[in-house]
Amino acid sequence: MNPKDKIYWIKVALAVITALICGFLNMSSWRGIFFGLFMLITSYYISLFAIRRELEEVGGTGTAFFTGLFAFIFLWLVLWSLIYTIMQ
C-alpha cells in the first residue's frame, strides 16, 4: 500500500469512528462540529506518524493534509446525520 492510500484509509476510518461517537453521544450543533474538527486534526497527525519516513514520497505535509480531507468531511457528516436522526 502506498503512503497516500494509508493516509486516505486512516482518515476514512477515523471519520467513521468520529461519526459513531458524535451520533451515539447525541452531540448536536457546535459540540459535534468542534469534535469533528478536532478529530480531523488528530487524523492528520496520526497519518503523519504512520508515514513519517515516506513523507517526501507523498509530496509534503500539505498534500498529506488534503489527501482524504473531503472524504473525511463528507463521510463524517453523512454518518453523523444518519445516526443522530435514528437515535432521535
pLDDT tens digits, 26-58 = 888 899 999 999 999 999 999 999 888 888 888
Q: Quote the number of domains for the chain.
A: 1
Please give the pLDDT value at position 30. 92
Q: Which domain holds residue 18?
A: 3-87
Geometric angle at alpha carbon 62, from 14 and 70, rounded to 5°: 45
Please give the pLDDT value at position 79. 95
